Amino acid sequence: MINKMGLENDILRVLLTEEQIQAKVKELGERISRDYAGKNPLLVCILRGAVPFYADLCKHIDDYMEMDFMAVSSYEDGMTSHGIVRIKKDLDVSIENRHVLIVEDIMDSGNTLNHLTRLLGTRNPASLRIVCLLDKPERRTCEITPDYFGFIVPDEFVVGYGLDYADAYRNLPYIGVLKKGVYSNED
């Protein structure tokens, strides 16, 4: 059970400190600025987990850029995901002939981004790439890799800096491993 009074007590160990995250986001922002110089890219934030990463990353894009937002959810049938995503909120702008960069907090199975890139690819963008702060390749079930990533993480339950369990922990400034007792009966 989530103890909202003791957010920090629910964390088994810190995986990535605030300083490590901020240094990496700056590095990614500088690289993206160079790669997209003069292209006025559209950075697409996938709500809600990507919000802290997106906000910090955009501050390090040192050129003209535009923002837009999408919200998606997986179609689920009991415990299994079909790997199809439902669009809960679509983009507000056309991406035809635009340089589009999808910004995500984590690539796990890859289902969400696999489906999303197929969908956005049909809208004739000039280019379409993905930046994920975290990559969890051990969990991949489809052939997709982020064009830019910050850190490879082990297959553990990670929360913080946008990543949640039952919608909590997104506001932690660092990324940590959640104690098992929070989400199961084990300690």
Where do contacts with ligand PRP occur on this chain (CB under 6 A)?
Answer: 46, 48-49, 104-112, 164
Q: Which of 10, 108, 147, 167 is catalytic?
A: 108
Question: Nearer to ligand PRP by C-beta: 39 or 58?
Answer: 58
User: Per the omega criterion (within 30 degrees of 0), is the bond before 48 cis?
Assistant: yes
State the Cα–Cα distance between residues 130 and 141, nearest whole angstrom: 17
Question: Nearer to ligand PRP by C-beta: 62 or 121?
Answer: 121
CB of 162 to ligand PRP, least distance (A): 7
Distance from chain centroid for Cα 106: 4
Two tokens, residue 96: 């035809």
CB of 102 to ligand PRP, least distance (A): 10
Question: Nearer to ligand PRP by C-beta: 97 or 173?
Answer: 173
What residues contact 147, with CB distance under 8 A and at least 6 apart? 129, 130, 131
Mark whether 108 is an active-site residue. Answer: yes
Two tokens, residue 180: 């098992």
CB of 139 to ligand PRP, least distance (A): 7
Regarding beta strands 80-89 and 148-152, do their DSSP bridges make them parallel or antiparallel, or are they unpaired?
unpaired
Contact (CB, 8 A) for 53 and 161: yes
Question: Nearer to ligand PRP by C-beta: 88 or 180?
Answer: 88
State the Cα–Cα distance between residues 45 and 165, nearest whole angstrom: 20
CB of 85 to ligand PRP, least distance (A): 8
Q: What is the phi/psi pair of residue 142, to 5°?
A: -140, 160
Q: What residues are labeled active site? A: 108
